[in-house]
Structure 1
């Protein structure tokens, strides 16, 4: 019998996904739980396994196409009965009440979804995820996702308008052939234009009765090889979602910025003293970052408005300290989260940091690994940076960067001494914190780092 495979829900306000790559082609035999397709969301890149054993009949969503969660993506011929039908795409979003606590936010997909999260890596600085209040307020205004099984479908899909959302593959075809997208009729879900629609339009031209758009300006003659001055690179799904996250943050959050200079000479000596023994005992590298994380999480306990988010008519203070760590991965920047970081020792933080960084680069993070972040730390100093102005992970209240440690001549006790110096740079939400609060937090981190020395315990 024919079985429809749907895009599974992955929880926590993820309402749509982009088909990244089909791992099977029509005609292939697929075993139950064998990876079927790679899907990119604003939270995670995941492999969706087949819920049944059978033969893949046809693909319903092309690579690069963005569709709502719960929508059909493929048909298979199988004698097995798939799990129960997944919930409506909007159910995860509207279920978040303004009074919901963090513990009430669903962390896993519903038990009846057709497909299960196997592995993934978060995309862009999305370690925090939208606050329950923001998600609830945004739900009425956001356009409802197209239903996977619409009650009535028009005989002829309406032509797409200029503002229609196109997949990267479709957009690239339109640009290459200089098409008027308003004359292309979409046959995809909700009238969405697919790659086949564009290819058919290129071969046959506009269909009779298709309304023409307003007169466009004359199309310039294509440049010859000698005149070409630009090269257009199509966006990958990961890069597009990072871009959307960045624009959202700088659009909605009024960023302010501050920096302090920290003398980490004692920290450098401490790490040098412990490094070899720690590597032999724990099997992981002891970097400077676990020491800095410890100073940050202890300071967040004292300055709670930095471990917070904006709630419209209130400030939401987070009781847990879940620290997001920015990691440069092959596909782009990702931000896995160390949960309850304030409860760990420096050695425990080193182990946790090594684990999430390695799994992030290997694309083995789970959805839980990128959820619930309350503050973000980015070690830009590893790239040689000495000053930076980071963008906050929406909806968090701040992000801190640690810059490169450099030796410089400093005045100490009226004498010139060579010291190891590092800058800390903080971007903060000016709706929640002013200069006094942000400076107090930076000074607290600075004081803890400068106090580290041979007597500092790491266990």
Structure 2
């Protein structure tokens, strides 16, 4: 039986790739999920695993060739690798040596699960098991941390955790192997050195520098180096085992330096710290999520022309309506009636009138969204995340409350997927839950607007010539002044205020 090896999905807007390296040649035996070749796109490097065990037949797409999505790369003849008469004596000997390791069952690879669209790597944050521990199928083995979410990795089978390949703190790509589980309750009998020779070296973090000179660089990288007139020593490789990729050459050219790029950007020196104070300090490495938050917020300030306008809203009518119907609402819909659904509805109505607040800039174009994917910022122990309520403008109060509560709960538990935090067109941030009275929120790129909610506080207000105590909330709209004018921003905030002070307007679409 012949199995086709085809180009996998390369990611959003990516339609072709270059075959960088083949790790196998025709006639080689391959195991299921073993890496066959490496593809290089404009943005990332993609490893192609074997879809089945067998023998690699014809390689259709050679190194250096450009292929499209789903193009045929090679063929695999299933079962051919199992014929003992084709094995060399050395191979038979090796198989006999490893046989005791499988006496309790076959070895099972623990691979990095799907990380989500556009996410290519993760950091191993915590191992819940250690080598030699017995594990049950679906029991949590370790936790990975990406730029936005934490992902728990379950055991694919029951057995004994015999080898941890990626230790805590190791950065792994989307197709890397994390560990090995041997079936049954007994650990594998193969010597540790042999296991490392079989698995550890393939996923070892490359040493600093340019890597081994016998590593084959990507063909596109070789071409780019020749065109740029730079040598291999002037480029620091980021691929497997220090392999130079096309983007590495671009970085070296743009840097305009003959020295290899440093592994990390130079940090500004700290101010001098007294010895007695330094002894009482604690240094903790920033999580990937915190690093991403810091980078994105700074990028937003550097890119967008952020301006904030303010207003205040009398919450009397919303609070009265909520108090009157909250018990009946919860009884019928099984969800609590909060304030977020009112604000979401009010923003959706206002965005229809001022569509530029719901748009984004793409180069010299303005992209208007005829839908509202509402981001609801949520604080978690790991940092701020923004789950997205898709098509919020089409949902009822009950649908909004259920989805906001469910995604907020999963955000705090670190269970959100990447897809659930992508594609937002506008964001609401509620600093009032922490007691904030006034703030200026920062945009969530590439969005052009974000509404900041704040604490509800009783204040004296003049109503029809009389001073009355009213529950008031300050509202803040931060917007990108490149696309939203002051008039549009103020109009948006006034429409939100009007809808909340007279919720009947929401029912009549006014």
Instruction: Report the TM-score range of the alignment, normalised by the length of the smaller protein.
Output: 0.5 to 0.7
- Change beyond 3 A, Cα 1:231–1:23: closer
Residue in structure 2 matched with residue 300 of structure 1 by the alignment: 351
RMSD: 3.6
1:318-376 C-alpha deviation (Å, 9 max, x unpaired): 23311111112222222212111111222332222222222222333334332322211
SS in 1 for 2:328: helix
How far apart are the structure 2 equivalents of 1:61 and 1:256?
45
Does residue 257 of structure 1 match 2:296?
A: no
How far apart are the structure 2 equivalents of 1:456 and 1:273?
17
How far apart are the structure 1 equivalents of 2:384 and 2:159?
37
Does residue 64 of structure 1 match 2:169?
A: yes
Structure of larger gyration radius? 2
Does residue 413 of structure 1 match 2:430?
A: no
SS in 2 for 1:39: strand
- Tell me the number of residue pairs that the alignment of Structure 1 and Structure 2 aligns: 336
Residue in structure 1 matched with residue 3 of structure 2 by the alignment: none
**Larger strand share, 1 or 2:** 2
Does 1 or 2 have the higher relative contact order (CA < 8 Å, sep 6+)? 1
Q: Show the 5 A alignment for 1:76-95.
A: 76-77=181-182
Tell me the TM-score normalized by structure 2: 0.58
Residue in structure 2 matched with residue 35 of structure 1 by the alignment: 140
How far has the Cα of 1:228 moved from its partner? 4.3
SS in 2 for 1:46: strand
How far apart are the structure 2 equivalents of 1:255 and 1:408?
30
Does residue 47 of structure 1 match 2:152?
A: yes
How far apart are the structure 1 equivalents of 2:314 and 2:109?
61
**1:266–1:454: 8 Å Cα contact kept in structure 2?**
no
Residue in structure 2 matched with residue 15 of structure 1 by the alignment: 120
Q: Tell me which of 403, 413, 425 is aligned to 1:362.
A: 413
How far has the Cα of 1:235 moved from its partner? 2.2
SS in 2 for 1:410: strand
**1:379–1:402: 8 Å Cα contact kept in structure 2?**
yes
- Change beyond 3 A, Cα 1:231–1:36: closer
1:369-421 C-alpha deviation (Å, 9 max, x unpaired): 32322211111112221211112112211111111122222223333232222
How far apart are the structure 2 equivalents of 1:11 and 1:363?
14
Does residue 278 of structure 1 match 2:329?
A: yes
Does residue 329 of structure 1 match 2:380?
A: yes
Does residue 317 of structure 1 match 2:336?
A: no
Does residue 430 of structure 1 match 2:481?
A: yes
Does residue 379 of structure 1 match 2:430?
A: yes
How far has the Cα of 1:78 moved from its partner? 5.5
How far apart are the structure 1 equivalents of 2:396 and 2:272?
65
1:84-118 C-alpha deviation (Å, 9 max, x unpaired): xxxxxxxxxxxxxxxxxxxxxxxxxxxxxxxxxxx
Residue in structure 1 matched with residue 15 of structure 2 by the alignment: none
- Change beyond 3 A, Cα 1:25–1:3: same
Tell me the TM-score normalized by structure 1: 0.64
- Change beyond 3 A, Cα 1:251–1:309: same
- Change beyond 3 A, Cα 1:343–1:238: same
In structure 1, list runs of 5 or more residues that go unmatched.
80-147, 162-185, 193-218
**1:400–1:424: 8 Å Cα contact kept in structure 2?**
yes
1:198-218 C-alpha deviation (Å, 9 max, x unpaired): xxxxxxxxxxxxxxxxxxxxx
Residue in structure 2 matched with residue 118 of structure 1 by the alignment: none
Q: Tell me which of 385, 389, 393 is aligned to 2:440.
A: 389
Residue in structure 1 matched with residue 266 of structure 2 by the alignment: none
How far apart are the structure 2 equivalents of 1:285 and 1:401?
22
How far has the Cα of 1:160 moved from its partner? 8.9
Q: Tell me which of 380, 386, 390 is aligned to 1:339.
A: 390
- Change beyond 3 A, Cα 1:436–1:288: same
Residue in structure 2 matched with residue 233 of structure 1 by the alignment: 284
Residue in structure 2 matched with residue 269 of structure 1 by the alignment: 320
How far apart are the structure 2 equivalents of 1:220 and 1:401?
35
SS in 1 for 2:408: helix
Residue in structure 1 matched with residue 267 of structure 2 by the alignment: none
How far apart are the structure 2 equivalents of 1:303 and 1:267?
23
> Which shows bigger deviation, 321-330 or 24-33?
24-33
**2:426–2:450: 8 Å Cα contact kept in structure 1?**
yes
In structure 2, list runs of 5 or more residues that go unmatched.
1-105, 185-200, 212-236, 244-269
Residue in structure 1 matched with residue 454 of structure 2 by the alignment: 403
SS in 2 for 1:411: strand
